[in-house]
Structure 1
Amino acid sequence: MTDPASSDVNGGLTRRAESRAGERLRAAIVGGGFMAEVHSRAIRAARAEVAGIVSSSAQRSADAAERLGATRAYDSLDQLLVDDAIDVVHVTSPNALHAEQAAAVLAAGKDVVCEKPLATTTADAEALVTAAEGRVATVPFIYRFHPMAREARARFASGRAGSVLSINASYLQDWLLGAGDDNWRVDSKQGGRSRAFADIGSHLVDLVEFISGDRVSRVSATKRTVFAERAAHSSITTEDAVAVVVETVSGALGTLLVSQVAPGRKNRLWIEIAGSEESVAFDQEQPETLWVGRRAGSLLIPRDADQLSADAARLCVVPSGHPQGYQDAFNAFIADSYAAIAGESPEGLPRFTDGLRAVRITDAVLDSAEAGTWIEMGTEE
């Protein structure tokens, strides 16, 4: 009888995660906050073991291990990295720590999943790409893993949508709407030079480029810091909102709006890309359908594996009519990361090179906003 834990179900998204030695993959997490919780659920969904966790102190590590069900709490990252039982490390700490910690994981000979932004400077991100050669090193651009985002991509890749003409996209949240709302991310020492764009704008640009198959070649941006003073922080310089005009390598024009002060918008990532034959629109808060616009006969395509491209269908883990969401997309990303560790080559897996790309675009957006000029990205890959 086939072992259900190792069966290839729904394109392999539920198979047991295995290390190179053929044993159950053992993952450790750096950090103990919200993203650590998301990662822990995805690790278990991939049938790997949450084998350890380390947070900012020994006590916080112990608390996080109990809360997230990790097998072991480590007193320090160094202690974790010398443990040969750990195969892959998930870095979910504050942004300013990502580069140093991911580099340490790679130097220890372990594979790594590092939260975005990959680094707070382009130089650090470039160094990580070099250090990751020969290892599996991925970044959670997880909106790529919504089936309908893959369907949108397939329509451009196949030529059905035609060539890209224009892009209209936004990512809006309201969790920092008031002066009393605060978080470590507003502090440039912990979060880096950019906040709203590095945090959520990076997802937006990654998904635009992923779906369209086109690259942003230059940007013109403006930014605003609505609150320079918040509950626990003063002299804040990181941005609450950014507006960007983009031009792509193919010559398409686009607008991007990113805000963390948009009342009523909880996590609204929305993209509409107009092709010469049809437009496609994807809304992350309504991810069960894809709008396909035509001059005559527009469509609303449901998340039904029987109607989708193969790459989109493989990400449908429950039947149509049973909604999938954010955690499902995250689970699929981790499953594909672990498949890569096992030696496979999953389609569309975001690696450190994609993380570097996001850092470069973030720098260009901030440079443009501060200089008041267009910034050229060129045609680099």
Structure 2
Amino acid sequence: MTTDVSHTGLGTIRAGILGGGFMARVHRTATCDAGGELVAVATSSPSGGSVAARALGAARAETDADALLDAPDIDVVHICTPNATHADLALRALAANKHVVCEKPLATSARDAKRLQEEAAERGLVGAVPFIYRYHPMVREARARMLRGDIGELLSLDCSYLQDWMLLPSDDDWRARSSSGGASRAFADIGSHLCDLIEFVIGQRIHALSARTRRVFPERGGRAVDTEDIVAVLVETESGALGTLLISQMAPGRKNALTLELHGSTQSVRFEQERPEELWIGARSESRLLLRDPATAEPDSGRLQRVPAGHAMGYQDAFNGFMADVHAAIAGAEPEGLPTFADGYRSAVLTEAVLASAADDGRWVEVSA
């Protein structure tokens, strides 16, 4: 799927990436797939920027973020840097009249995220956050069935996001410290994806929650840790459905196990990110496994299906679909389900509610926005 923007006068959408790690590679691949051009890369040092530009196939390396943000030949800035830098870089990019794709969290405070949402809207610029699990076709299939009323009244949710990359005390990362990653790690990093997916699929918001967090090791790699490893959350939706959410980066054997299971009065549906070609549908009389197939898919699912049934699609395909919608939005379209800075703000609000509840022995907190 590519986006033809020639009719808008924009021509090829030109991108600049801040950061040079794994996510920068994913953004580069998705940008090129959408028909864009990677013009420049900048990292925290000129030498690192040169290495990243060569690795990513960028036309050039910029000496620093300021040079990239000021470049007149860049239309959209991709922010793939540590969390604590996101809000400032995104605000500066908007001030330079650039569209922005910012990795989550959009900001480490809801106040900063709200400011970014408002700034993008005031300037008429696209601000997007890669909640890309929305772009698995079977997620859209689940959403269509949910919104059509196939499962009946939503009664309960059983959802989780489990990883094991922080299992050992020797496992360390910049996200482990609030100075670079923000006050929350496990929830802000992966719980944010889970909650975004829940609200997107069910078409309603989490109204209230009760949370507990756990930090297993006081130190990692010989340095103090001040962010959580595990989060357990009870949630109530706007319609009164109750649910449990378990988020952990210390679940042995689980690499990226995002699971969404919704129980309705007539059917249940279950989506597992590590098995993205499938959607389990349960009923009292029977259960069945629905496999991805563009020939029988709901329209919003079908538009994201690039290959025939039986030809597996995965994470990068979902990211590519997201980026195609970003480019379409830059060209003036309004793609269905594109996660914007408004969704980034919502995620920050949920994160602060989780931390507030956990700090008060799991007190129920109403989520205000």
Please point out which of 95, 111, 117 is paired with 1:107. Answer: 95
Secondary structure of 1:222's counterpart equals strand
| Cα deviation code 1:206-232 (max 9, x no counterpart) | 001111112101110100001111115
Secondary structure of 1:305's counterpart equals coil
Match of 1:4 in 2: none
Secondary structure of 1:315's counterpart equals coil
Match of 1:7 in 2: none
Secondary structure of 1:330's counterpart equals helix
Q: Quickly say closer, same or farther: Cα 1:258–1:18, change in 2 above 3 A.
A: farther
Give structure 2 stretches of 5+ with no counterpart: none
Secondary structure of 2:157's counterpart equals strand
The residue type paired with residue 131 of structure 2 is F
Is residue 362 of structure 1 aligned with residue 364 of structure 2?
no
Secondary structure of 2:60's counterpart equals coil
Cα displacement (A) at 1:20: 4.7
Q: Distance in 2 between matches of 1:229 and 1:335?
A: 41
Please point out which of 321, 324, 329 is paired with 2:313. Answer: 324
Secondary structure of 1:363's counterpart equals helix
Give structure 1 stretches of 5+ with no counterpart: 1-12
C-alpha contact (below 8 Å) 2:32/2:38 kept by paired residues: yes
* Aligned counterparts, 1:149-164, within 5 A: 149-164=139-154
Q: Distance in 2 between matches of 1:346 and 1:220?
A: 34
Match of 1:21 in 2: 9
What is the TM-score when the length of structure 1 is the normalising length? 0.94
Is residue 190 of structure 1 aligned with residue 180 of structure 2?
yes
Match of 1:173 in 2: 163
Please point out which of 272, 283, 288 is paired with 2:272. Answer: 283
Q: Distance in 1 between matches of 2:126 and 2:177?
A: 31
Is residue 265 of structure 1 aligned with residue 269 of structure 2?
no
Please point out which of 38, 41, 44 is paired with 2:29. Answer: 41
Q: Quickly say closer, same or farther: Cα 1:179–1:136, change in 2 above 3 A.
A: same
The residue type paired with residue 196 of structure 1 is A
Q: Distance in 1 between matches of 2:82 and 2:10?
A: 33
The residue type paired with residue 107 of structure 1 is A
Q: Distance in 2 between matches of 1:70 and 1:16?
A: 21
Is residue 292 of structure 1 aligned with residue 281 of structure 2?
yes
Q: Distance in 2 between matches of 1:316 and 1:341?
A: 22
Please point out which of 31, 46, 52 is paired with 1:58. Answer: 46
Q: Distance in 1 between matches of 2:5 and 2:31?
A: 9
Secondary structure of 2:44's counterpart equals coil
- Residue identity over aligned pairs, in percent, reads 54
The residue type paired with residue 240 of structure 1 is D
C-alpha contact (below 8 Å) 2:214/2:231 kept by paired residues: yes
C-alpha contact (below 8 Å) 2:102/2:127 kept by paired residues: yes
Q: Distance in 1 between matches of 2:279 and 2:270?
A: 6
What is the TM-score when the length of structure 2 is the normalising length? 0.97
Please point out which of 185, 191, 194 is paired with 1:201. Answer: 191
C-alpha contact (below 8 Å) 1:29/1:36 kept by paired residues: yes
The residue type paired with residue 152 of structure 1 is A
Please point out which of 11, 15, 19 is paired with 1:31. Answer: 19
Q: Distance in 1 between matches of 2:229 and 2:356?
A: 16
Cα displacement (A) at 1:241: 0.3
Please point out which of 312, 336, 360 is paired with 1:371. Answer: 360
C-alpha contact (below 8 Å) 1:19/1:87 kept by paired residues: no
The residue type paired with residue 176 of structure 1 is M
Cα displacement (A) at 1:16: 4.2
Per mean C-alpha deviation after superposition, the further-off stretch among 192-201 and 300-309 is 300-309
Secondary structure of 1:306's counterpart equals coil
The residue type paired with residue 323 of structure 2 is I
CA RMSD of aligned residues (A): 1.1
Please point out which of 78, 84, 89 is paired with 1:90. Answer: 78
The residue type paired with residue 299 of structure 1 is R
C-alpha contact (below 8 Å) 2:3/2:327 kept by paired residues: no
Match of 2:60 in 1: 72
Please point out which of 199, 202, 221 is paired with 2:211. Answer: 221
Cα displacement (A) at 1:90: 0.4
C-alpha contact (below 8 Å) 1:182/1:232 kept by paired residues: no
Q: Distance in 1 between matches of 2:20 and 2:266?
A: 47
Q: Distance in 2 between matches of 1:321 and 1:125?
A: 40
Q: Distance in 2 between matches of 1:125 and 1:45?
A: 29
Q: Distance in 2 between matches of 1:283 and 1:216?
A: 21
Q: Distance in 2 between matches of 1:273 and 1:292?
A: 10
Cα displacement (A) at 1:19: 9.2
Q: Quickly say closer, same or farther: Cα 1:18–1:30, change in 2 above 3 A.
A: farther
Q: Quickly say closer, same or farther: Cα 1:19–1:284, change in 2 above 3 A.
A: farther
The residue type paired with residue 322 of structure 2 is F
C-alpha contact (below 8 Å) 1:18/1:338 kept by paired residues: no
Q: Distance in 2 between matches of 1:17 and 1:191?
A: 36
C-alpha contact (below 8 Å) 1:156/1:212 kept by paired residues: yes
C-alpha contact (below 8 Å) 1:243/1:257 kept by paired residues: yes
Q: Distance in 2 between matches of 1:19 and 1:56?
A: 37
Cα displacement (A) at 1:21: 2.6
| Cα deviation code 1:87-118 (max 9, x no counterpart) | 00000100000000000000000100000000
| Cα deviation code 1:236-288 (max 9, x no counterpart) | 12000000000011000000000000000000000100112211100000010
